[in-house]
Structure 1
Amino acid sequence: MQQDTRLRQASSFGAAALAYAEHRPDYAPAAVRWALEPAPGPRVLDLGAGTGKLTGTLLALGTEVIAVEPDPAMLTELRRALPAVRALPGSAEAIPLPDASVDVILSGNALHWFDMAVAGPEMARVLAPGGILAGLWNVLDDRVDWVAGLERAGGSAAIGPRDTLSNWRTATAGLHLPDTGLPARFGSPEQAEFPHGQRRTADSLVATIATRAGLLVMPQRNREAALARIRTFLASRPETTSGEFTLPMLTGVLRVRRL
């Protein structure tokens, strides 16, 4: 993805903050536990926290967490939903925390938006020795026939390579920390997937997909056409044509340890 396109998409979510908070899924607790289990201590940073989807899962697991989010509208929704959380303005490229102040950095559906040439050294700075960096992604289980059909109907702007089980490992494998140019070094990355799901109706699934960056930056006419194709497809399938259903998903995790 070209740099200007990446920046435009990365900054698109604030305009849909309310819809994002309402419709985006949380993360599989088993996936979050796996990300946390090798951590040397309890201090957790949710980086690029958005409206608090991952933060909420961390809180439900009894974790003390600091959230950092660059978009003011997203941060407002996070603070509204989770008022007890310490939630700070900031970004992966400028983390408002001291050196070696956290044992874990987690990032939910956000690591791919970071400028790793800048964010890599910055994350290494705030992460204690032995600490864990992990990215988490909610991906569609395209082994299920109707989900694979949804991917085809939506197109790449609605459902990209990081969004399906068949592609997420390849699409995210290179997102671990590069050589930071600092004394800090990182071990080999590990990847794992954990079953997950989200209760949806056809309308609420369309609303969820409408919060994806590729659609948010589309011209309105093209966006409406893409969403109309998705509605038509969902109306054609017995699994999704009426009432609630479970959207088959997994939470994928990419984790790496600071040496």
Structure 2
Amino acid sequence: MTDATHDIHHAAKEGFAAKADHYVRGRPDYPTAIAPWLTERLGLRGGTTVLDLGAGTGKFTAYLAKTGARVIAIEPVAEMRRKLTQALPDVDARAGTAEAIPLPDASVDAVTCAQAFHWFATPAALDEIRRVLKPGGRLGLIWNVRDESVPWIAALTRIINQHEGDAPRYASGAWRRVFPHAGFGPMHEDIFRHGHTGTPEDVVINRVRSTSFIAALPAEEEAKVVAQLRALIAAEPSLAGKDEVTVPYSTSAFSTEKIG
């Protein structure tokens, strides 16, 4: 099989391959409101076909499967794709990239990119997404975003940001520059409140370790980050000594339609 990772960002290729297990354990799920959003905004139901692009380990793919639609998942990193197929054996999971989608023209009713579009926010990728969408098909872009109005979460972000390098990120807003784009209508944004509940080890430490550029660090550098995270947890009254904590998020869900 052709290697689909040769033209993806090095932080994604190295980090996600190395820490797929941390991604499974550390990443939050999505709010219950995402189910009606998939039906109302993207039109997913039985008899439709949806492509999950940059599907990772299948965190979001599982929500697509619940709509009754036929689901195709494209993920270039083999280690992530393996986790997806283990969790969702009925999903058609394939290697591929946003600029080389292995599907025919006008073959899907919707495309989703969850926690992913910032990695491939280029005109070429949008042209390729438009190619595989049927007329009137929908594109959905979804991100879970930590609530940095909470002081300890802002401190957490500062720890993470020391290592971001040149990795594309949702927070930079750079992905927005490719819109408006020929062949797509106006963009709609819906925001949902959300929380990620679990042990501090999973929702704080494993979540950070699943970040591409943290996961790609040399072992000794990653260990320093983990030590900083443990110190943050120990110093924060809402976290220290707790078996279960909730990290507050908002989920931003954008949708647009293929036109012309």
* Residue of structure 1 aligned with 2:147, choices 132, 141, 163: 141
Aligned residue pair count: 247
Aligned-residue sequence identity (percent) comes to 37
Query: Is the Cα–Cα contact under 8 Å of residues 194 and 250 in structure 2 kept in the other structure?
Result: yes
Measure how far apart 1:211 and its partner are: 1.0
Q: Which amino acid aligns with 1:186?
A: F
Query: Does residue 1:98 correspond to 2:104, yes or no?
Result: yes
Q: Is the 8 A contact 1:58 1:65 kept in 2?
A: yes
Does structure 1 residue 194 correspond to structure 2 residue 187?
no
CA 1:145–1:254 in structure 2 vs 1: closer, same or farther (change >3 Å)? same
Aligned to 2:12: 10
Question: How far apart, in 1, do the equivalents of 2:93 and 2:126 lie?
Answer: 21
Q: Partner residue of 2:3?
A: none
Instruction: Name the aligned partner's letter for residue 154 of structure 2.
Output: A
Quote the Cα distance in structure 2 between the aligned partners of 1:174 and 1:35.
Answer: 25
User: 1:28 aligns to what SS in structure 2?
Assistant: coil
Which of 119, 122, 131 matches 2:125?
Answer: 119
Task: Report SS of the residue matched to 2:19.
Answer: helix
Relative to the length of structure 1, the TM-score reads 0.84
Change in CA separation of 1:177 and 1:64 when aligned onto 2, cut-off 3 Å? farther
Q: What is the distance in 2 between the residues matched to 1:218 and 1:202?
A: 21
Amino acid at match of 2:184: F
Q: CA RMSD in A?
A: 2.6
Q: Map of 1:1-259 to 2, 5 A cutoff?
A: 7-12=9-14, 13-31=16-34, 33-39=36-42, 42-114=48-120, 116-157=122-163, 162=169, 167=171, 170-176=173-179, 178-179=181-182, 185-204=183-202, 205-242=204-241, 243-259=243-259
- Consecutive unaligned residues of structure 1, counting only runs of 5 or more, are 180-184
Normalising by structure 2, what TM-score? 0.84
Using a 3 Å threshold, how does the CA distance of structure 1 residues 34 and 114 change in structure 2: closer, same or farther?
same
4+ residue segments displaced more than 6 Å: none
Question: How far is the alpha carbon of 1:176 from its aligned partner?
Answer: 4.2
- Whole-angstrom CA distance in 1 between matches of 2:180 and 2:10: 23
1:182-222 Cα offsets, whole Å, 9 max, x none, are xxx11122222211111122222201210101212223333
More helix by share: 1
AA aligned opposite 2:116: A
| CA 162–194 in structure 1, closer or farther in 2 if over 3 Å, else same | farther
| Equivalent-residue separation in structure 1 for 2:32 and 2:206 (angstroms) | 24
The residue identity in structure 2 corresponding to 1:18 is D
Instruction: Give me the whole-angstrom Cα distance separating, in 1, the residues matched to 2:70 and 2:197.
Output: 28
